[in-house]
Structure 1
Amino acid sequence: MTEPDRRRVLYVIVCAAGPAGDVGKLVTLAHQRGWNVQIIATPSALDFIDVPALEAQTGHPVRSQYRKPGEPRSPKADAIIVAPATYNTINKWAAGISDTYALGILAEAPGLGIPVVVLPFVNTALAGRHPFQRSITDLRAEGVRILLGPGEFEPHTPGTGGNYLAAYPWPLTLDEAERF
């Protein structure tokens, strides 16, 4: 494949939160817009997603661990979407923790100039905590686009997350990634 023929590569990092089971909706939208999609799951997210279905849909293995020596590399990302993003992943990323493959990708992305869009799925008890607010501020200062707040996606009341799964705005993440 020549460089002009190369499709844009989108990494979708999926975390262990309620909307994760519907990440295939984002893959469909991305394919319709010409993206080549690579799913990267946090280890906990593997229990939330249908790995074989996503591998069939994307044509790529779902990655959750670093590759072994000699295994092929994933194509370089042109953009990254983290959705649904959890309290845990956002705080670890902002703190510089890189203890999973997904966090390793995220740790490097700002330094590599790769645009990153994050759509958290958190409740108000977590979103209101100082560590989370500090993490959001720190990541935004590094150029990470976090879709959280009025007009984007609001945190939900604890115990009500299931009521918001159908309204999770997957298209918003892709729209934002394409603005870079």
Structure 2
Amino acid sequence: MNDTHRPVLYLIVCAAGPASHVADMVRHAQERDWTVCVIATPSATGFIDTTELRTLTGQPVRSNYREPGENRRLPKADAVIVAPATYNTINKWAHGTADNYALSTLAELVPLGVPTAVLPFVNTALAANPVFAQSIAYLRSTGVQVLYGPGQVESHPPGTGGDRLATFPWHLALDTVAG
């Protein structure tokens, strides 16, 4: 636990529709007494309001590595949520690609045993690609809680993701890392 005695949650946001509602997730986590640090994939920065998130969290939204000598360290994570998690991020992560700050963070924290929950947001066409199922299976084998399947998050037909933004189940990930 960090020095403030409030657990620290890293919320890693990917470039998918529900990202535009990530402030709701931040508020839900704060209601459960989490200190939230938002880390965005480079593409996700176009989906989120970084000024609003900085105001809500008191932390800068990180999407890039620190510059040499720059002191922008985040507090140590007690848990990680990746939501919405895209097809691209899930597959890159499972295959060891760490070509951005968010993926590098995941590559470091999971082997350290930091509880991690993932809420995928993919369409049925992408989900049907066998590499996606393999990536989910691999991540689960490392202890990552991928909340995908019946009763959790399910894929949606192409072109219908916008219909699911208001009902994206942020609470499932919070329940998972809190329990």
Which consecutive aligned stretches of 4+ in structure 1 deviate over 6 angstroms post-superposition? none
Aligned-residue offset at 1:69: 2.4
2:2–2:75 Cα contact (<8 Å) kept: no
TM-score (norm 2): 0.96
2:86 partner letter = T
* CA RMSD in angstroms, aligned pairs only: 1.3
User: Aligned with 1:112: secondary structure?
Assistant: coil
CA 1:150–1:46 in 2, change beyond 3 Å: closer, same or farther? same
CA 1:148–1:108 in 2, change beyond 3 Å: closer, same or farther? same
Aligned-residue offset at 1:72: 3.1
Q: Does 1:19 align with 2:10?
A: no
- Give matches, 1:54-93, under 5 Å: 54-70=53-69, 71-93=71-93
Partner in structure 2 of residue 8 of structure 1 = 7
In 1, Cα distance between the equivalents of 2:2 and 2:155? 41
- Report percent identity of matched pairs: 58
Partner in structure 2 of residue 41 of structure 1 = 40
Aligned-residue offset at 1:5: 4.3
Q: Does 1:117 align with 2:117?
A: yes
Residue-pair matches, total: 178
Q: Deviations over 1:70-119 (max 9, x none)?
A: 31311110000000000000000000000000000111122111111000
Q: Does 1:137 align with 2:144?
A: no
Aligned-residue offset at 1:6: 2.1
Aligned-residue offset at 1:3: 6.0
2:92–2:98 Cα contact (<8 Å) kept: yes
Partner in structure 2 of residue 147 of structure 1 = 147
In 2, Cα distance between the equivalents of 1:100 and 1:57? 24
CA 1:59–1:4 in 2, change beyond 3 Å: closer, same or farther? closer
Partner in structure 1 of residue 157 of structure 2 = 157
Q: Deviations over 1:39-98 (max 9, x none)?
A: 000000000000100000000000001112231311110000000000000000000000
1:8 partner letter = P
Unaligned 5+ runs, structure 2: none
